[in-house]
Amino acid sequence: MNIRRRLLLVVGAFTIFTGAVMVWAPTVGSTDISLARTFDRSIPWESNVDAQIFFVARLPRVLAGAMVGAALAAAGVVLQALLRNPLATPFTLGVSAGGSLGAMLAVTMNLEFGLLGVTSIPLASFAGSLIATAIVYALAASQRRGLSTSVLLLAGVTLNSFFSALILFVQYLADFTEALRAIRWMMGGLDVAGYAPIVAALPFLLLALAAFAVLPRTLNLLSAGTEAAAAKGINVVSAQRLAFFSASLATGAAVSLGGPIGFIGIIVPHLVRLLIGADHRIVLPASTLFGASFLVLCDLAARTLMAPLEIPVGVVTALIGGPFFLWLLVKRS
- The region of 12-20, 91-99, 106-114, 236-244 touching other proteins under the rule CB under 8 A is 106-114
Q: Which residue in 4, 42, 144, 308 binds other proteins (CB under 8 A)?
A: 308
Distance, in Å, from the CA atom of 117 to the CA atom of 257, rounded to the nearest integer, reads 13
Burial class (CB in 10 A: 0-12, 13-18, 19+), 14: buried
# residues contacting other proteins (CB under 8 A): 40
Q: Does 185 engage in binding with other proteins (CB under 8 A)?
A: yes
- Whichever of 146 and 194 has its CB closer to other proteins, that residue is 194
Distance, in Å, from the CA atom of 18 to the CA atom of 301, rounded to the nearest integer, reads 16
Q: Residue 83: phi, psi to the nearest 5?
A: -90, -5
Whether 276 contacts 17, CB under 8 Å: no
Q: Under rule CB under 8 A, which residues in 141-170 are in contact with other proteins?
A: none
Draw the binding track, 235-274, toward other proteins (x: CB under 8 A; -: no contact): ----------------------------------------
Q: Under rule CB under 8 A, which residues in 110-129 are in contact with other proteins?
A: 110, 112, 114, 119-121
- Whichever of 191 and 237 has its CB closer to other proteins, that residue is 191
Distance, in Å, from the CA atom of 30 to the CA atom of 301, rounded to the nearest integer, reads 10
- Whichever of 46 and 227 has its CB closer to other proteins, that residue is 46
Whether 136 contacts 159, CB under 8 Å: yes
Q: Does 30 engage in binding with other proteins (CB under 8 A)?
A: yes
CB under 8 Å to 201, separation ≥6 — which residues?
A: 67, 122, 253, 254, 256, 257
Residue type at 135 in one-letter notation: I
List of residues contacting other proteins (CB under 8 A): 29-31, 45-49, 52-53, 56-58, 61, 110, 112, 114, 119-121, 172, 175-177, 179-181, 184-185, 189, 191-194, 197, 303, 307-310
